[in-house]
Every structure is written in C-alpha cells, then in structure tokens.
Structure 1
C-alpha cells in the first residue's frame, strides 16, 4: 500500500503514548500530522508503518542510515556479536579496528575516543579544547546545530526578534532558564561572513578555547562554505591559539574522507557520529595526537577524564565497522550520482515552472527552500510563518505520495536507493508544484 495520511493503528498507538510521554513522543524532532506515523519495519530504502503503508525514506533517522534499513552486512555482524555479548567493562579488539579505519581514512584524525552520541562527541571536543588551552569561551555559527550541550545550543534558534546586529550577532538562549553565564561564554559568528568572523575571532581570541564549525550547516541552509570564509576562520584561530573543531557528525557522509577535506578545513579536532555507527548510537572525537593527549590517563588522572558505561560498546562498534567497510569509493560515487539526479531534477522542475523555490546541498544531501534564491546563511534560510506553512504542505504531499520527507532539515539518500527512487523524488516534487501552484507562485 502506498503512503497515505496517518492510519488508525498509528492514531491508536499515539493515544497510548500520550499517557506515558509528556507530549506523546520521546524526542522533539518527531513530526506529527497531528499524530506521528509509527514504524513497524524498514527494508532497504523503504519504511513500512504499522498500517502497512510504504514510504521511500529520505530521513534515514536524521541522515544516520547511509546504507538504508536492515543492511545485511550490519545485521550479520550484529547477530554474531549479540551471541558473544552486548557490552563489557573491558575493551574489545573491534574498537581498535574502527578507530584504525577512521584514522586511516579521515585527514587529521591521529587519535580517537568513542562516545555514545553526536552530542557527547561535541561536548567532549569542547571540553578537550578547554583542557588543552586553559580557556573557557567558544565561538560557533549562528543557527548551526551541534547537539544538546548548553554552549553548543546558543543561538541555534535565533530569530529576527533576537538575533541582533549582522556584524556581531547576539548570543541567544535555546531554552527557558539557560544560564546567562553560558551566553557570556559563546561568541556567535555568521556563516560565510568572512570579515566580521575575522574581526570577532581576533577581538575575542585571547579568551577562546575553540571555534566549532559545521562545514555545511543543515539548519543554516545546507549551503557550501566560501573558501575565503574557511581560510579566514582557520587563519585567525591559529594566530590566536584557538583550536578549530569540525563538527562532521552529519556531514562526514559527504565523501570518503569527510567534509573538511572537501572544503579545505584543517581542524584540530573532528566530531563524528551517525554513519559511523551503522544505525546504532555512537559518537567519536578525533584529532591531532597533541590535543587528544588531554584524554591520556596512562600516567594518572588525565586533564580531561572521559568515560561512559556504553562508550565503545561492541554492538555500536561492530555495526559501525561493518557499515564503514562497505562505504568504499564506489558507494560514494553512487551516492553522488543519486544526489545529482535529485538536485538537478528538482532544479529543472523549478525552472520549468518558474517557481519561487530553490534547492541546495551536496553529495547525498539536499534541502528545498521556499525562496527563489539559495540562502547564504542561517538568516537568509530563516522561515517566517508563510514559507513555513508551504514547507509543511510540501512535506505532507510527499508523505501522501509515499515519500518520507523531513521538514526544515536535510534530506538524505542511501546506498540502498536506486535511480528510480531518485526519480520518484523528482516526480513527486513536480506533482506538488503542479497541484499547489497558488502556494508557491511568486
């Protein structure tokens, strides 16, 4: 059965969920219409909900499932590991294998520490920079998402009402009660604003431990960085003894060597997650041996103690190792081709109808925007109520036509997809433009 609106079983299950969860869900990112779709299984590039509706999955659990669902090598590796044990207090050889793969593949990763999530990876990368430099402040991009750590959450949800001066953005709270001291310790930069970034980093350089950059922020529009912006941030940071952290939790999937290598970024630390876990929870901090030495406990208490009951657990490590071994150059070539088919097809559909929309992205990622010109940063990508409503209509149309499409986030492709799947995305988008002309007409 092709996708439809929320079925009765999903509605019934949501009624149960509201009795035990604050809003009926376990994470704020769950989309509802007005109930969420409850998933029964995933196979390859498709999801099946509890009402047996089928959906091409462009979410991939927020870009984590680069091989799609129930990827056979991962399933087989996990089956073997479960029979041996799920977690131990002692290390396993498999964690060394995955670390060796990352050190060999990702430039500037000389040492690795594993954690459980991307949030933890960012958290410990920031702490590592503080431990290494002895400083406390952090610089970050306005609108860029780096997980649920207070200092990383500053200005994630900035709006025209509070984001302040374009040359020196305000540090804004993400949630009610966020300590004012946190806001005082974060310097906010605008993505691709070269000169102002240089000035802000120079002015605050003496107190900054790190500047954290997502090479292509999803929430900021999924737009490529300007080479001069990357160079300015990197050079100014180096001159002031500020570490550069590349957050590749999402964007590591852009190439065999990750995203920093594509855009000329030479980080001191890199945070990783999502695809390196093969569909299981994971995070990793990698970087220069000199900086990573803050974790070294061989001579006693380290400068930065880092543990975690499930850090480097054999299930996540085993799944991640199986997934990453199959992410070879051929796999990335296929993902690049699928991405080109979607972005080119959607772009041609927009041009043909002269619609006031655009598409951004790279490799296996893309975002559709309700504006005629691609946004250059978070402020230009910000959606007021009207455009946001249009994107909600687009998402609903995709679901009604059997495609799971994330709202206001990066859509992602997987190696399980075919060219026909990519063309389906283009066809459904064209169908939306034709049936909702009154919504997008400039």
Structure 2
C-alpha cells in the first residue's frame, strides 16, 4: 500500500489531506455555477486540483502523487507530458498556434488515419468527440434523406440532443425490456427529438432486428460504440454485431461506429476487433495527443456530402479551431508512437489487471465483476458479468460501495474513475499493474461488511 496517503478512509480524512485543493475549490465556487467547469469533475467531498502530470502519474497541488487510471477520460494513452508530443508542440508553437489556412500537418494525420483504419477513405477534423458525432449523424441524414437514428440505451455519444436520448435512463423511465422508451436527459428536451430516436438494448439480437426493421424506412443511421463505456464496458456478442449490420445493409441504413473512446482498443480500432464494418467512424481523444480534437471518417461516397469544391456543400462544416496545427502535430506525434508493439504491451498490462482482479474476486467470493478489453477495465457491484446497461445500473448499496472503492483507491495513491472506464497508458509498468491489484485486494479485505450488503442479482 502507498504510505504517502495519510488519514482515515473517509471523506473527512481525504478533505484534511488536501488543504490547497480545498482553498482552490472555495475560490472556484465564486466563479463557476457549482464550483466546477464541467459536470464530470469528481468531488469527494471536494475536487482534487492537479499541479502537473508526468508519465503515468499525477501530482496534486498538495504535493501528493497518484497513479492515473483516468487519463483524462482515456485520452492520454501515452500518459502525461509525453516527450514526442511536447517536442512537436514546442516546435509548432514557435511557428504559430492557428491559421485560417490549412497546414501540412492535417494532411499527415489524415493520411495516418486513412492508412491505418480500413473503412476510412476520407476524413474531416473537428474540435471534439461531440462535434464528430454531431456531423456524422448529419452526414447520414444528408446521404440517406432520412431523419431518425437508432442508438444504444445508456451509451454516451457527447452532447448532441439526438445522441443524448436515453443516455441516462433509469428503472423509473426506461420502459419495456424489449422496446425501451426514448428518455430525455434534461428538462425541456423537445419531444420531437425523442420521437426521432429508436432506442436499442445492447446485445439483444432479436430486439435490434425487430426495432430496426420496424423503423427502417425512417432511419438514417444506427450509431453504436462497439464497447460502450457508460453502458458497462461489456464486450459485444458477434451475433449482435452481425444483426445490426445485416438489417442496416438490407435497408440502406448507415452504420456509425463511435470510436471516440474505443479507438484505443487496437491498432485499427475497436470495430476491427469486433468484426464491425461501419460506413462512418467518429474519433477523438487519442488522435489529438492530449489536445482538443475530433474527426469523422468513412466511405468516400458518404464523405462526399462535405465536398465544397463545386460550391456550397450538401453539409457545410467549419470551425475556427478545426484541424488547428497544435492538435494536428500533437496527434500525429502520439499516433506515430502507437505502433503494434505499443498496443501489444497495453494488451498485456490490461489483461494482467483484469485477470488478477477477477482472481481476487473469485478467491473471496465477492459480489463483484470486472469487464473491459485491451487497455480498459471497469469494476461492477454485480456478481455476474453484465450484459448491458440495465444490468450495470447499481442498487443503492452498490452505488455506495463503488464510491467507497474510488475513495479507497485515492487514499492509497490511485485515481480510479467513478462509474467509468479505467485505462492503462504506455508509460505504465508491470509493477504499476501489480500496484492496482494490491490496492483492490486491500479494498476487498477491509470492506467485507459492505460487500456482504450487496444484493446478489442473477
């Protein structure tokens, strides 16, 4: 166990150990609506303010060191202050940060993506994963002349209204098991948006066939994350992938693979790993080397909707900072160093962590499970491996346990995301993997009473 972290395993203990973070949060509450600048900031009881990052570690303003399993929500696949990225950015900053004109760096990054990912013939760069999804859905609408989309219940695709439908569905509103309801994520979401989204359950083959076929004439696209993080980081069944593709192909529905997060699953991304052949792919996170970025890639005929060579395109897409040279050069440096060897090592470390956590769970008969693939993993307060979003929706006792797990990891020197994917980065070592497992075992051994209170669902 990391002895640098003092105090008891309580919110009060953590608060006492972070006086400068507490001071910073007091300042932030005077300028931000809730003291934070984004809803994803975790607080227990206050946010942890970071001073710097180096390799696989973070250092907070109070001088404490943490192994970082968040990696800015899986973005930093090379960890913090990665040398080639720092060098590339330093060189570019001396030459200019952004221009209205294109640069050769955007061509080079696009060439890398088109050369690496089999179903990408053309690329357009944007600033975020949200923008990538937004324009992919618009492109599908323009190409097909249809307006509806289908998406997976509980899956996260950014902040575009149609992509947000049923992102946070609950047992109180998610409706029937075989025909999920479209649920709003915020008060005032237009009813017309809900009417234009068909909600599917992940890994439910018969339901996806029936619902996609029923709405086929109105569906422009089905968007799916091959392994939804917010949906549990559960592996897709091959027959589910096959069913989605078959119904889509037979009815002229485009398949959009949202790989903003899961592109890190292999050299060619997650679709290649699971046998999905999409028409469009949305990307972000790792392709920006730690800077803001998003991209839409896909078939040449579909991507033609962005073509402005003959005048106004069918789908206009701009953006002051789209394809800015800082993001392009940083992304190019990061992606060039993500070779086959790097992915193989990430695969090994991820498997060690998942297998050892699973072994610890089994040895103690704990009502927990672990999911994930490649460099990703997620722990669930569920005795059996979940199948979809409804399975991983926690009971009150389960939610409390997971919050305590995140707290325990923080107290022992590891940043473990709460209710999201944890990620391995290339600077991590075998000893880092063993450290993760040791802390998890320590949690199991010291929280038996809480584990006993978990309802074993079958």
Scaled to the shorter chain, the TM-score interval is over 0.9
Mapped to 1, the partners of 2:174 and 2:451 lie a distance apart of 27
Specify which of 260, 285, 288 is matched with residue 274 of structure 1: 285
Specify which of 31, 39, 52 is matched with residue 41 of structure 1: 52
Mapped to 2, the partners of 1:119 and 1:109 lie a distance apart of 19
TM-score in terms of structure 1 length: 0.99
What displacement does 1:386 show? 1.4
Tell me the SS of whatever aligns to 1:35: coil
Unpaired runs of 5+ residues, structure 2, are 7-13
Mapped to 1, the partners of 2:201 and 2:383 lie a distance apart of 21
Q: 1:148 to 1:268 in 2, by over 3 A?
A: same
What displacement does 1:378 show? 0.3
CA contact (8 A) 1:10 1:38 kept: yes
Matched, 1:347 2:358: yes
Q: Deviations over 1:124-145 (max 9, x none)?
A: 0000000101111000000000
Tell me the SS of whatever aligns to 1:9: helix
Tell me the SS of whatever aligns to 1:37: coil
TM-score in terms of structure 2 length: 0.96
Specify which of 224, 229, 247 is matched with residue 236 of structure 1: 247
What displacement does 1:2 show? 2.8
CA contact (8 A) 1:3 1:55 kept: no
- The residue correspondences of 1:247-262 to structure 2 (distance < 5 A) are 247-262=258-273
Moved more, 344-353 or 315-324: 344-353
Matched, 1:418 2:429: yes
Equivalence for 2:336: 325
Specify which of 1, 4, 19 is matched with residue 2 of structure 1: 4
Equivalence for 2:440: 429
- The residue correspondences of 1:8-157 to structure 2 (distance < 5 A) are 8-157=19-168
Mapped to 2, the partners of 1:135 and 1:340 lie a distance apart of 42
What displacement does 1:107 show? 1.6
Tell me the SS of whatever aligns to 1:212: strand
What displacement does 1:384 show? 2.4
Count residues in correspondence.
442
Mapped to 2, the partners of 1:135 and 1:301 lie a distance apart of 21
CA contact (8 A) 1:77 1:319 kept: yes
Specify which of 289, 305, 311 is matched with residue 300 of structure 2: 289
Specify which of 174, 195, 205 is matched with residue 163 of structure 1: 174
What displacement does 1:374 show? 1.0
Mapped to 2, the partners of 1:299 and 1:2 lie a distance apart of 63
What displacement does 1:349 show? 0.7
Q: Deviations over 1:84-122 (max 9, x none)?
A: 000000000000000000000012000000000000000
Equivalence for 2:187: 176
Equivalence for 1:388: 399
Mapped to 2, the partners of 1:97 and 1:235 lie a distance apart of 34
CA contact (8 A) 1:356 1:370 kept: yes
CA contact (8 A) 1:220 1:377 kept: yes
Mapped to 1, the partners of 2:78 and 2:145 lie a distance apart of 41
Mapped to 2, the partners of 1:425 and 1:70 lie a distance apart of 22
Unpaired runs of 5+ residues, structure 1, are none
Mapped to 1, the partners of 2:215 and 2:391 lie a distance apart of 26
Equivalence for 2:10: none
Q: Deviations over 1:325-347 (max 9, x none)?
A: 00000000110011011001101
Specify which of 221, 230, 242 is matched with residue 232 of structure 2: 221
CA contact (8 A) 1:3 1:403 kept: no
Equivalence for 1:201: 212
Q: CA RMSD in A?
A: 0.8
